[in-house]
Amino acid sequence: MTVPVFLHDLGARSRILLDGPEGRHAASVRRLRAGERVDLTDGAGAVAECVVAEARKDALDLDVLRRYDVPAPEPRLVVVQGLPKGDRGELAVETMTEAGVDEIVPWAAGRCVTQWKGERGEKTLARWRSTAREAAKQARRFHLPEIADQASTTRVAALLADAALAVVLHEEAAEPLSRVDLPEKGDIVLVVGPEGGITDDEIAKFRAAGATPALLGPTVLRTSTAGVAAAAVLLARTGRW
């Protein structure tokens, strides 16, 4: 059985009280009992291997068996995701988090059908962050992915300019993603357009920022699945998989 992972402040004590929402989930939903194993992480690479000493109604007392740190993976993979329609954005976040993407940047592209404005935008961003958090725990990730604030095209161009490698998925590109030269360190920033595609003006700005258009494959994927497919290619080629 896979050891469950929970997010918590690790502190320095040999016994930790896992309470709050995480403790409630562990005690009342997962129904963990004395003697069972649990891993805690702060989401930034620190890990505490624990065993349940006592199960309360909505919390667990945990004895720490071992502590260690997991280094952040290199190179870092950042996916700029054009805003998908409906709940497909959460699907994209979930699958990319499970795959190992390090940062997801919501992008308000010119052809996005969905618009994040005001309270609605704040709620959607909060759902993306909650989805990433839960998916990271499910995938036993000890470095949580960052879900950035919504970015404009100008902001995306700046991210591409600062990247060790900048790539834009585009159906008219001549170079396949599987052949693009990859860096050993730094940020790989990958742009995934919305359902309506990337405009000529956006492509021009991204090229000017140093981005390389790349072809993912012979078929056209939905924006909600293109990111995880491209991430799989890059993570395998960099040796992170």
Q: Which domain holds residue 18?
A: 5-69
Which of 25, 54, 69 is the last residue in one of the domains? 69
Largest CA distance in the chain: 61
- Domain of residue 96, CATH code: 3.40.1280.10
Q: What does the pLDDT read at residue 12?
A: 87
Assess whether 96 and 160 both reside in one domain.
yes
Which of 69, 86, 102 is the last residue in one of the domains? 69
DSSP codes of every residue in 26-95: IIIIS---TT-EEEEE-SBSEEEEEEEEEE-SS-EEEEEEEEEEPPPPSSEEEEEEEPPSTTHHHHHHHH
> Tens of pLDDT along 176-209?
999 999 999 999 999 999 988 999 999 999 999 9
Residues whose CB falls within 8 Å of the CB of residue 155, separated by 6 or more in sequence, listed in order: none
| Confidence class for position 126, pLDDT limits 50, 70, 90 | very high
The number of distinct structural domains making up the chain is 2
| Confidence class for position 11, pLDDT limits 50, 70, 90 | confident
- Cα 182 to chain centroid, rounded: 20
Residue 116's closest CA among 88, 151, 157? 151
> Tens of pLDDT along 21-30?
999 999 999 9
Assess whether 188 and 151 both reside in one domain.
yes
Assess whether 136 and 212 both reside in one domain.
yes
- Cα 101 to chain centroid, rounded: 4
Assess whether 102 and 145 both reside in one domain.
yes
pLDDT exceeds 90 at position 218: no
Assess whether 197 and 216 both reside in one domain.
yes
- Domain of residue 46, CATH code: 2.40.240.20
